Amino acid sequence: MDNNFGQISLTFVQIFHMQISAKELSALLNGTLEGNPDVMVTGPSKIEEGIPGTLTFLANPKYEAYVYTTKASVLLCGTDFVPSSPIAATIIRVENVYGSIALLLEKFASEVSSPTGISSQAFVDVTAVVGEGSSVGHFSVIEKNAVIGKNCTIHAQVFVGENVIIGDNVTLHSGVKIYHNCRLGNNITLHSNVVIGADGFGFAPQEDGTYKKVAQIGNVVIEDDVEIGSNTTVDRATMGSTYIRKGVKLDNLIMVAHNVEIGENTVIAAQTGIAGSTKIGRNCMIGGQVGIVGHILIADRTKIQAQSGIARTIKEPDTAWYGSPAIDYADFLKAQVVFKKLPELQKRIQELEKALKAQEADD
């Protein structure tokens, strides 16, 4: 993780209006405090752009030079950090810097306002059920027979279609669209403009060269503890279900086609496309801009490097792949070394051919 805590510095602070002392922060993080315990902070800032009244951190040694010049009021660092010069900021030392950052970011993020209750400008069908503690924002639509669980947050301009079932503690950010008959579990977050349950890409070629749409009558099932980034689409199955299993994390701008299954705790980066009926195993790690053909299997704990193309089944678990078409990761790196030398090798071959022709002429 790079030192990018609070990339938005002053604007971030102005939004949150949070006030907490260094002493309180240290107690929250179970840290050790050095300096003024009463200094107040209102949010985070980048270490190289720190401003008074903010908290910054040092986790990557390459940023150490900034700890001596930052104007941030509080510095979070590891227990083993030994400064080479005086530090103006109050220091809080913790065992796990990254874990502390995550805790603080969650606390700062909790300051963001969310809708409360059901907005008078929302439409909730009389047959729909909205669970206790759930809220529905302005201009959102909850269609017939939809069921929303407890403690859900539905932001403005969300569409929940007919017969959709949503579990507890689900957050749907503005612009999310969930088509009819889809099922969502508990503790799910869908970011803005995610589309769940649009038709799969199914068209049958006709004798006259046209295409006839194949009805897509399945749905999408998203299990517990899933997070899906903005503008990602998950298509409904032609028949049966498209499955996003428990604990999956999907980045922005991912396309998941009809009847795909993504196994538990798999993570996929942005701009990846997965064609229809492919089954991806558990705990896989897939980089950005990966293309995966349809109707194949990818084994558990497979790692795929960014911009790779997967054109066949991967049977063995715990393997790594790179390239398009993808090959074994280590083999790809070796091949890259050879590839870089191709112009030199071509020149040498041409010189050898020229020398051979000269020798043949002399003979």
Distances in Å between the Cα of 140 and the Cα atoms of 56, 76, 148, 202 are 38, 41, 13, 30
Give mean pLDDT in consecutive 10-residue pieces for the chain, a chain of 363 residues: 38 51 92 95 88 91 93 94 94 93 75 80 98 97 98 97 98 98 98 98 95 97 98 98 98 98 98 98 98 98 97 97 92 86 89 86 75
Q: What is the pLDDT of residue 112?
A: 63
Contact 44, 55 (CB under 8 A): yes
Radius of gyration of the chain (CA): 27
Reduced to 3 states (helix: H, G, I; strand: E, B; else coil), residue 273 is strand
Q: Per the domain annotation, does 1 fall within a domain? A: no
Residues 135 and 84 in one domain: no
DSSP element (H, E) containing 136: strand 135-136
Residues 31 and 68 in one domain: yes
Q: How many domains does the chain have?
A: 3
The active-site residue, picked from 155, 173, 191, 258, is 258
Residues 249 and 267 in one domain: yes
Residues 325 and 344 in one domain: no
d(CA 148, CA 159): 12
Residues 281 and 357 in one domain: no
Name the β-bridge partners of 252: none
Q: What is the pLDDT of residue 109?
A: 67
Residues 302 and 341 in one domain: no
Active site residue 258: yes
Residue numbers of the domain that contains 342: 337-362
Q: What is the pLDDT of residue 341?
A: 87
Q: What is the pLDDT of residue 18?
A: 62
State phi, psi for 101 to the nearest 5 degrees. -60, -45
